[in-house]
Amino acid sequence: MPVNKHDRQLLNTSEAITLAISRIGVGVVSAYPITPQTKIVEGLAKLQTDKTNNYEFVRAESEYAAASIALGASAGGARAYTATSSQGLLFMLEVLYNIGGLRLPVVMTCANRAISAPLNIWNDHQDAFAMRDAGWLMFFSENAEEAGAQHILAYKLAEKLHLPATVNVDGFILTHTSEPTFIPTREQIKKFLPSFKPQASTHLDTKHPVSIGHLVMPKDYQTFRQELNSDLDKSLTTINQEYALYQAMFYGEKTANPLNNGLIEYYGPTSAKTVIVAMGSVSGTIKTALDEYNNKTLNLKKVALLRLKTFRPFPADLVAKLTQGKKVIVINKGLSPGSLPPLSLEVASSVSSKTELLHVVAGLGGRDIRVEDIIKLLTLKNKGKVFFL
């Protein structure tokens, strides 16, 4: 049954994620509090205390421990979940690489927040970019409803592909902001995401002993990493397939939309001469700016948004196709000191060398990105390597 307005309730993104995780049927939740992620796991702890859910909730003594508990639970055959932000993600990083290398289907929320120093608790994407090579599927949400849906999709994909997944939501901008949101019921989710039954030899089982994480000699190590890389590349197709199933089940969409799928959303005229590439909640601001700008300018000057829903795997072919022959403005909420910013690096390696690129760093540490800032960018020329908004 397609969603209607009566199916939605007023939720902030933290509450939406809490509901989604509680209805997915996880076996183990482990976490350590850190702003602005804390509201998610507080909600999950309360639901478990209220006896409305039967998952095991483990209060870890650190983020490193929280990730390790999730690893162990997943290796033992349970559906595992954790969440973090900023310095917490950096503390987890060693374990996140192990989870990726072990091909364990852990799902994690990252409530994106700036990295110290200086100390800052507000939003940007520097924490997420720190794990870009860990071998995880990486999703970025624009709003609360998409965040809930991406967590459900993340488990379906993680368990199907034997790859961990993280869903990135902008701290405070999303985590603490309420909007009408649809989260499927437990019964509805189960039709899309069945109960977890780990395959033989993929988890620790005393009846069928296997080795997990054993020492690999030099001649074999590259093979394992190559397989991980290859499977992440192949996941592009599966992400779109599962997204189409989700949209059909909950929104009644009968056919897949090539301009709004599990990997990207293209917003604006396909004839646009300029395309802005961005991820996360800033996309809503960009859409407002483009609506205002496109309504006031000649057809030849139209601008579009290419919103990336996945950063890993990176949809390079789609980026190249949808930006061909256009000026491209890449908005990064992250920095790679001494090089191009992370999103810009990916886009630059995907498009033609003749493409006019403007690399923008914006919103670091929660600095406002306003409608007028976006419109200002449209008049800028490529004056240097990186423009700081």
The structural domains of the chain, ordered by start, are 5-251 (3.40.50.970), 264-388 (3.40.50.920)
Q: Are 375 and 347 in contact (CB under 8 A)?
A: no
Q: What is the pLDDT of residue 272?
A: 94
Q: How would you label 311-337 residue by residue, b for 16+ Cβ within 10 Å and e otherwise?
A: bbbbbeebbeebbeebbbbbbbbbbbe
Amino acid (1-letter code) at residue 24: I
Q: How far apart are CA 129 and CA 31, in angstroms?
A: 21
Tokens coding 291? 């609506």
* Structure confidence at residue 190 as a pLDDT band (50, 70, 90): very high
How many CB atoms lie under 10 A from the CB of residue 224?
Answer: 13
Mean pLDDT within 275-294: 95
Task: Tell me what the mean pLDDT of segment 311-338 comes to.
Answer: 97
The first and second tokens of residue 104, run together, are 């364990």
Q: What pLDDT was estimated at residue 299? A: 55
The pLDDT tens digits of the residues spanning 120-169 come to 999 999 999 999 999 999 999 999 999 999 999 999 999 999 999 999 99
Please, are residues 162 and 105 in contact by the beta-carbon 8 Å criterion?
yes
User: Residue holding tokens 């409803």?
Assistant: 145
Q: Which two tokens stand for residue 68?
A: 């390790």
Q: What is the secondary structure of 225-251 as a DSSP string?
A: HHHHHHHHHHHHHHHHHHHHHHHHHHH
pLDDT in tens, 194-246: 999 988 788 888 888 888 888 999 999 999 999 999 999 999 999 999 999 99
What is the average per-residue pLDDT within 31-57?
Answer: 94
User: Phi/psi at 165 (nearest 5 deg)?
Assistant: -140, 140
264 or 199: which leads in pLDDT: 264
Q: What is the mean pLDDT of residues 9-24?
A: 98
Residue 276: strand pairing partners: 305, 329
Angle, to 10 degrees, between the axis of helix 38-49 and the axis of helix 13-24?
40
Residues ≥6 apart with Cβ < 8 Å to 214: none
Percentage of residues in the chain having pLDDT higher than 90: 86
Q: pTM of the full predicted structure?
A: 0.96
Residue 298 reports pLDDT greater than 80: no
pLDDT of residue 46: 94
> CA-CA distances (angstroms) from residue 290 to 267, 332, 372?
9, 18, 10
Q: How far, in Å, CA of 124 to CA of 115, rounded?
A: 9
Q: Is the peptide bond before 33 cis (omega within 30 degrees of 0)?
A: no
Average pLDDT, the chain: 94
Structure confidence at residue 161 (pLDDT): 97
Give the pLDDT band of residue 41 (cuts 50, 70, 90).
very high
